Structures are given as structure tokens and as C-alpha cells.
């Protein structure tokens, strides 16, 4: 999990590095390199401060894409006792340890220059020791083939209908959807088995988005290295591209062909393939390039397989700002000469657990399923009394499988997430709105509704609810297990969903020294196990050859630790009188809650269990299976992300994020 401690603004300097990509000359690239704030730099110079020691276990000049580098960080002997070391890569904090030495690994999945910064922080939050910076240059994608003389072809690509380059990449953000279009023109007659697109590592395919030759019929036959024969009767040597042999595409590769076997392309023939992919929520800053994949010949043993970097498809994820170093004695709180009404933004991550319970399972075999949740909230570190400020929550894409052992997941409906609002004596709600529409959602359009404890719309309600037209499993005016509300179609296929972001504006009306804190909805019945008032609930529809089609209601309650821990905290400070200098407030830096993920029960086939011993049938297979592929959140509540909300995940599945605000009456 990436953790950031924001202190003050960034002062950056530009450096120049050389970028080498296979088949392309070195190109000068401007890189934003972190630099010390003037006060910290003055302190280091005045005190002749020693530097943090930073070493890499290999050369950093021409690093292959996908390489893992181990960094060793050490504090100098002059560093004060009791401090900590941290390592940043492109502004993302990789690790932090309260010790004099630190060792951390980082895998570079994007190419181009990467800024690695090591920092020492004392117990007061200051940086009396110089930062040290290394530039790691990662070489771009290479052509991979099983043949010394691969077929000569002209390949052209675009991203989001634009032709990009190293000098002018298309900028994208984590969670964005990108459209790749590739064109391949063969120089001579060839026998083709498959044409495909290999997105950058981690980019996930948007289901049903592929288009072959401007609407021509085709089969999506390969996912990663897994081939599915559309016509099993045909001899496999003329059908299977053989990606299980070298070279191997990444897990998100898609391959297509128009028939059930190999097909001929005449000299000068052109094939076009278009598809959408989602940038991962944890995408590293840097450059990314797609590749075209093709298999030509008469079988995997003798044919030519190649994965060729696709010109025109370079996208860039911008580096994050590194927190500026703080000289001893400085404070990020308002002080002399600070006329700003709102303090620097603070991102606070958390990791905790929740308990989910099914209701309405076949044969009455409902089961409990523990879930791990990750979230972070972003809000100002402080705000002057009477000022308005925003809390913005950004969703992350949700990756979901379509099978739970022998059951098939059909739909998720009536998803609702409840957020408790701060006490009106501390903060007023000025406005709230959705940002964007989300992706791959259906049912009723997403809505944000202010509600009371009964789930009814109320202008003075103590909660905000993200749902679809306030249709829920329970606790509301329109409840049940029928299809509707905020939902998504699964139909047994791997799919990716994204919820819209939410922006809420508050007005600080409390007294100086009070904090506007955010929590999960967990007071009263909402804090009890398996209640319709729980902050998260939804309906999951599945089918099985024995049980038929059935719909489960699911309620999730946060752990006791999560109920007590705040998600964000903004301190209210006094507005200074003319000529008066305000006293720096005491900023609460309580560590975010961190809980180890609960032990997951191994999934089993509930149908087989029933045949063996019907009396002891446990729906753990279905419930846990659904949890494993939906993460009870993957859709269930991956519902938010980018670190800004709760993430539910099981057995490695991606999680879900949820935004929340502090319970009514808490501050």
C-alpha cells in the first residue's frame, strides 16, 4: 500500500535524462526532480548536513522493463536518534521504517526516467539530514519473437484516436479507460492464426469492447496465454496460436481471428483491431506502450509468434508530488506570514476488516465471510473557522470473475454505501455531487442522497447514501432482492466496473481546536452484525444446476477497530486578527488503523458437499466463492478506490473502495 505524508508544497527542478526504447534513438526527456524547500536547503547548508545514503543493487542506467531493484537506505551517523527512513519512487512512498537502515524492493512496470528519493525524518517530523536522489532509466518494450526472421509487416497504432510519441505521449490517470487501435499490413502472402493486442502490464480489458476490421465477425479466442477454440472439431495445429510457448504475452493480452482455424492474408492485406483497457488504480508513474501480437504459420511448433511494440500508443501517468522537506522548527500549520485559509491537502490511508453475512441462501445455508478493506481519505490538514472545504473521493476500477466454483454469478444489484456526516455543530454540509458517471454500470443511475437513520430522504439527515435511486436490500423506502438500484451485469464473465467519484463540500462551523473527522457509519444498529443499516449491503444473483437461480442479500459491518478509527481529520484553526499571528494548532497525527487480513476459508464446491452430506451443506462455497470473485466488494465494495475508500478483497482479488464521513455526533 502506498502511503503519503503531505507536509508542504513541492518545489521542483527539471533535470534531463536520456530515454532509450527498442528500435528508437535516445531522446532527451524532462524529468521533474524533487528539490528542497528553501528553508530546508538553507538549514542543510548552514549546518553542513550529511546526506542519507542510497544504493541500488544493480546498474540504474538501462534497466529492462519489469526489473525489480533492491534499494538500501541508511541514515548518517549524525542523524538524531529515534527517526525514520522513507523511500519514494516518482513521488509514491514505497516504504517507511523507524530505523537507521531500510531495504526496499521496487518493480519498474513503466519505462522512462524514474526519480528515487531517500529521506530521513526525525521524531518532530522535520528533515535535518539531506535527501538523496537517484534517476533510474528504464528501457521500453522490446520485440519478442520465437523466430530469427519474423514476418515483415507495417504496424501502426493510436491511443484514444490520437497518435502519440515519446515527445508527446497521451496523458492518462489511474482508473482511466484507454482505446487502442492497431493496424497491421503484411508485406507478403501469409497464413495467419491470430492477431491481438497486448496492453501494458496491469491494464485490464473492457469486456465486449473489441472490434475487428471495422465490424467484421470474429472470435475472441485468447486471454493471456489461455486459448479457447471456437470450433473444437478443427485440428488444433491450425487453430491454437501456442502462446504457452515462447514468447509469452502478459495476462491481459487479447487475441482474435475471424474463423475457427488459420486463414490466409494476401500480400498487402491489412488487419485492424480495436479494444478498450482500463489503467490500473495503482499504475506507476511513467510511460506505457501497447504491443501488437500475431501468430503466422501452420502450427505452434513451427509458426512465427511475435509481440511487437506498437508505435503511436505511448501513454503517460504523471509522477506525484514529493512532500517538500521540513527544516527543524518549521510547521505545516498556519503561522507567521501565512494568509491561506485552507491548509495543505492530507491523504490518510487505512487498512481494516469487515464481516459480511448472506441472507436468503438456498436451503437456508447462509454463511459469514470476513473481508479485508483498504481506504484512504483526502482532506485539508487544517481550515480556518467559517471556511468551506472539499473532500473528494475517487473510485477505482473493479475487476471481477464470473464463476464461484460450480455456481455462475449473474448480477449484483441494490448496492448501497452509507456515510455518516459530521456533527452539524462542527461542520455543515454545503453540497455534494457525483463526479463522472462510472463505467460498466447498469440499473438505476448512481445517486447521492441525504438520509435519516431509517434510510428515508431527509434534508437534515445524518448520513449520505451512494446508491441507485435509493433502492436497497433493506433500510429505505424501496427495499427487497429484486433487480434494480445500483448494479452491474456479470453473466459468468470476467468484468471490470468503475463507480463515479463523489465531491462533498463542508463549512467549518466548530470552535478552533475542534476537528472535522470522518468515520464509517457504525452507530446504533449500523454497528451490529448483519443489519440492514450496515454501511454496505447489496443483492447478488447466481445460478447453479442444483439450486437453480437464487438471489442473496449481503450485509457488511466494519470491525470494532475500524468503527473507532477515524478516516480523515481536518483541524479548525482561529482566524487571526489584523496584525495578530495565530498559534500553530496541534495537528492530530494518530496512525491510520492497520489490521491484518482475516484468514480466508478455502473455497469448496458446495454442490459436491451437498451430494456427499446434504445435512451439513454449507453455502460457504457460494458465499466465499462469490466473495472471492466479487471480493464481496470487487463489485460489492471495491466500489471506491484509489485508496480513498474501503477495499474488499479475497484471495488476491482486487478490492473495493468506499468514501465515508464521520458519524453524526462525533467530532
Q: How confident is the model at residue 414 (pLDDT cuts 50, 70, 90)?
A: very high
CA atoms within 13 A on the CB side of 22: 16
The position carrying cell 429505505 is 476
Identify the H or E element spanning 624. Answer: helix 620-630
Main-chain dihedrals φ then ψ at residue 413, nearest 5 degrees: -135, 165
Report the distance separating Cα 332 and Cα 32, nearest Å: 23
- Least confidently predicted of 4-8, 101-105, 155-159, 501-505: 4-8
All three cell numbers of 155 = 504496424
Average pLDDT of the segment spanning 135-157: 86
Average pLDDT of the segment spanning 65-89: 92
Q: Across all residues in the chain, what is the average pLDDT? A: 77
Cβ pair 631, 649 in contact under 8 A: yes
Determine how many CB atoms are found less than 10 A away from the CB of residue 105.
Answer: 11
Task: Name which of 311, 309, 18 is nearest 141 in CA terms.
Answer: 309
Identify the H or E element spanning 45. Answer: helix 38-46
Give per-residue pLDDT as tens, 563-612.
888 877 888 888 776 656 555 555 555 666 667 666 554 443 433 333 33
For the chain, helix, strand, coil in percent to 5 are: 5, 45, 50
DSSP-derived secondary structure for 445-490 = PEEEEEE-TTS-B-TT-SEEEEEETTEESSSSSEESSSS-SEEEE-
Cβ pair 417, 473 in contact under 8 A: no
Report the distance separating Cα 485 and Cα 417, nearest Å: 12
> Can you name the residues that pair with 155 across neighbouring β-strands?
184
Sequence-distant (6+) residues with CB within 8 A of 650 are 369, 371, 372, 600, 624, 627, 628, 631, 632
Q: How confident is the model at residue 652 (pLDDT cuts 50, 70, 90)?
A: very low
3-state class (DSSP) for residue 568: strand
Cβ pair 293, 234 in contact under 8 A: no
Average pLDDT of the segment spanning 58-71: 93
Give per-residue pLDDT as tens, 335-386.
444 446 787 777 777 777 888 898 988 777 788 877 777 777 788 888 888 9
Tell whether the model's pLDDT for residue 329 goes beyond 80. no
Looking at residue 51, what DSSP letter applies?
B
Give per-residue pLDDT as tens, 190-247.
888 889 999 999 999 999 999 999 999 998 989 999 988 877 655 555 678 889 888 9
Number of H helices, E strands in the chain: 4, 46
The position carrying cell 455518516 is 420
| End-to-end CA separation in angstroms for the chain | 27
Task: Name which of 578, 596, 155, 167 is nearest 351 in CA terms.
Answer: 596
Identify the H or E element spanning 16. Answer: strand 11-21
Sequence-distant (6+) residues with CB within 8 A of 596 are none
- Least confidently predicted of 101-105, 339-343, 344-348, 412-416: 339-343
- Least confidently predicted of 112-126, 177-191, 398-412, 649-663: 649-663
Q: How confident is the model at residue 619 (pLDDT cuts 50, 70, 90)?
A: very low
Report the distance separating Cα 556 and Cα 530, nearest Å: 6
Tell whether the model's pLDDT for residue 548 goes beyond 80. yes
Report the distance separating Cα 429 and Cα 409, nearest Å: 38
Report the distance separating Cα 229 and Cα 261, nearest Å: 9
All three cell numbers of 553 = 442479500
User: In terms of DSSP bridges, do strands 446-451 and 403-404 run parallel, antiparallel, or are they unpaired?
Assistant: unpaired
Main-chain dihedrals φ then ψ at residue 159, nearest 5 degrees: -130, 125
> Can you name the residues that pair with 535 across neighbouring β-strands?
none
The position carrying cell 437534515 is 460
The position carrying cell 512512498 is 93
Q: Which residue has the higher pLDDT, 32 or 625?
A: 625
Report the distance separating Cα 86 and Cα 73, nearest Å: 8
> Can you name the residues that pair with 144 across neighbouring β-strands?
307
DSSP-derived secondary structure for 130-164 = B-EEEEEEEE----EES-SSPPPEEEEEEETTB--
Task: Name which of 650, 638, 623 is nearest 542 in CA terms.
Answer: 623
Average pLDDT of the segment spanning 104-108: 93
Q: How confident is the model at residue 151 (pLDDT cuts 50, 70, 90)?
A: low
Q: Round the CA-based radius of gyration of the chain to a whole number and report it.
A: 27
Torsion of CA 163, 168, 172, 177, to 10 degrees: 0
Average pLDDT of the segment spanning 298-313: 85
Cβ pair 617, 356 in contact under 8 A: no
Please give the pLDDT value at position 312: 93
- For residues 235-247, one letter each, b for 16 or more C-beta atoms within 10 angstroms of the residue's C-beta and e for the rest, the string is eebbbbbbbeeee
Please give the pLDDT value at position 245: 86
Amino acid at each position: 500500500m502506498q502511503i503519503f505524508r503531505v507536509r508542504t508544497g513541492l518545489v521542483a527542478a527539471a533535470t534531463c535524462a536520456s530515454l532509450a526504447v527498442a528500435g528508437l534513438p535516445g531522446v532527451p526527456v524532462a524529468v521533474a526532480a524533487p528539490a528542497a524547500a528553501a528553508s530546508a536547503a538553507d538549514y542543510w547548508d548552514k549546518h553542513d548536513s550529511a546526506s542519507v545514503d542510497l544504493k541500488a543493487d544493480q546498474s540504474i542506467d538501462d534497466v529492462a522493463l519489469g526489473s525489480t531493484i533492491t534499494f538500501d537506505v541508511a541514515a548518517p551517523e549524525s542523524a538524531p536518534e529515534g527517526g525514520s527512513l522513507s523511500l519514494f519512487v516518482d513521488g509514491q512512498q514505497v516504504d517507511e521504517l523507524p530505523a537507521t537502515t531500510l531495504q526496499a524492493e521496487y518493480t519498474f512496470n513503466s519505462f522512462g526516467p524514474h526519480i528515487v528519493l531517500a529521506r530521513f525524518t526525525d521524531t518532530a517530523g522535520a528533515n535535518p539530514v539531506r535527501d538523496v536522489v537517484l534517476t533510474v532509466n528504464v528501457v521500453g518494450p522490446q520485440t519478442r519473437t520465437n523466430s530469427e526472421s519474423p514476418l515483415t509487416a507495417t504496424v501502426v497504432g493510436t491511443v484514444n484516436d490520437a497518435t502519440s510519441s515519446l515527445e508527446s505521449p497521451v496523458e492518462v490517470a489511474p482508473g482511466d479507460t484507454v482505446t487502442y487501435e492497431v493496424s497491421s499490413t503484411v508485406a507478403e502472402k501469409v497464413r495467419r492464426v491470430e492477431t491481438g493486442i497486448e496492453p501494458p502490464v496491469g491494464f485490464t480489458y473492457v469486456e465486449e469492447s473489441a472490434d475487428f476490421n471495422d465490424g467484421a465477425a470474429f472470435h475472441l479466442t485468447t486471454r493471456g496465454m489461455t486459448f479457447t477454440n471456437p470450433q473444437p472439431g478443427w485440428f488444433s495445429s491450425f487453430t491454437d496460436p501456442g502462446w504457452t510457448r515462447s514468447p509469452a504475452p502478459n495476462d491481459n493480452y487479447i487475441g482474435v481471428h475471424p474463423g475457427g482455424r488459420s486463414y490466409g492474408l494476401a500480400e498487402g492485406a491489412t488487419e485492424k483491431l480495436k479494444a478498450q483497457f482500463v489503467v490500473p488504480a495503482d499504475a506507476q508513474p511513467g510511460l506505457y506502450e501497447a504491443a501488437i501480437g500475431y501468430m503466422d504459420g501452420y502450427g505452434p511448433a513451427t509458426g512465427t509468434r511475435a509481440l511487437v511494440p506498437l508505435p503511436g500508443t505511448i501513454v503517460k501517468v504523471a509522477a506525484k508530488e514529493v512532500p517538500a522537506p521540513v527544516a527543524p522548527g518549521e510547521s505545516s500549520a498556519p503561522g507567521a506570514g501565512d494568509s491561506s485559509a485552507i491548509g495543505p491537502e492530507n491523504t490518510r490511508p487505512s487498512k481494516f476488516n469487515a464481516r459480511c453475512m448472506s441472507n436468503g441462501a438456498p436451503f437456508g445455508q447462509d454463511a459469514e465471510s470476513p473481508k479485508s478493506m483498504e481506504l484512504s481519505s483526502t482532506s485539508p490538514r487544517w481550515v480556518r473557522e467559517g471556511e468551506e472545504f472539499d473532500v473528494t473521493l475517487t473510485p477505482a476500477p473493479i475487476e471481477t470473475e464470473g464463476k464461484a466454483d460450480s455456481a455462475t454469478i449473474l448480477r449484483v444489484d441494490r448496492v448501497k454505501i452509507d456515510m455518516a456526516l459530521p456533527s452539524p455543530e462542527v461542520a455543515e454540509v454545503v453540497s455534494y455531487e457525483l463526479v463522472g458517471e462510472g463505467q460498466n454500470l447498469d440499473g438505476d443511475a448512481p445517486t447521492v442522497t441525504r438520509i435519516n437513520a431509517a434510510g428515508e430522504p431527509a434534508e437534515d439527515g445524518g448520513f449520505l447514501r451512494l446508491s441507485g435511486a435509493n433502492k436497497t436490500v433493506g433500510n429505505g423506502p424501496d427495499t427487497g432482492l429484486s433487480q434494480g438500484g445500483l448494479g452491474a451485469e456479470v453473466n459468468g464473465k470476467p468484468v471490470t466496473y468503475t463507480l463515479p467519484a463523489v465531491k462533498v463540500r463542508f463549512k467549518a462551523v466548530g470552535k478552533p481546536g475542534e476537528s472535522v473527522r470522518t468515520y464509517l457509519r457504525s452507530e446504533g444498529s449500523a454497528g451490529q452484525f448483519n443489519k440492514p443499516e450496515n454501511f454496505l449491503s447489496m443483492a447478488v444473483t447466481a445460478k447453479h444446476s442444483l439450486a437453480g437461480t437464487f438471489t442473496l442479500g449481503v450485509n457488511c459491518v466494519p470491525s470494532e477497530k475500524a468503527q473507532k478509527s477515524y478516516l480523515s481529520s481536518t483541524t479548525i484553526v482561529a482566524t487571526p486578527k489584523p496584525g495578530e499571528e495565530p498559534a500553530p494548532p496541534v495537528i492530530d497525527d494518530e496512525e491510520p488503523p492497520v489490521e491484518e487480513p482475516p484468514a480466508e476459508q478455502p473455497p469448496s464446491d458446495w454442490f459436491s458437499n451437498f451430494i456427499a452430506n446434504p445435512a451439513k451443506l454449507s453455502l460457504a462455497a457460494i458465499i466465499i466463492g462469490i466473495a472471492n470473485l466479487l471480493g464481496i466488494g470487487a463489485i460489492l465494495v471495491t466500489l471506491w478506490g484509489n485508496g480513498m475508500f474501503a477495499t474488499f478483497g479475497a484471495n488476491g482479488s482486487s478490492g473495493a473502495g468506499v468514501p465515508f464521513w464521520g458519524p453524526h455526533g462525533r467530532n
